[in-house]
Amino acid sequence: MIRLPAPGARVVVRYLLPDGSATDALGTLLSADRETVVVDGKRGVVRIAVSEIVAAKPVPPAPERRQRA
């Protein structure tokens, strides 16, 4: 079983695509239950079936954007 932090935390979730390759969802964990994990990242909201998850972990906050000089 994959252990995730509470919703609101920043996470990375690696999951399998239908073709068997893997990809990552990086962003804010919106929700997680026994069947689905929902992550809001740069590519939008991603719903991931728990059965497709390979790995998941919390990650530190994103670095702040640099100001242009």
Tell me the per-residue pLDDT of 5-35, one tens digit each, with 9 for 90 and over. Answer: 999 999 999 999 999 999 999 999 999 999 9
Residue 3, both tokens: 């252990």
Are 48 and 17 in contact by the 8 Å Cβ rule? The answer is no
Separation in Å, CA 31 to CA 7, 21, 40, 63, 67: 5, 24, 10, 23, 33
What is the model's pLDDT at position 41?
93
> pLDDT above 90 covers what percent of the chain?
80
pLDDT > 70? residue 1: no
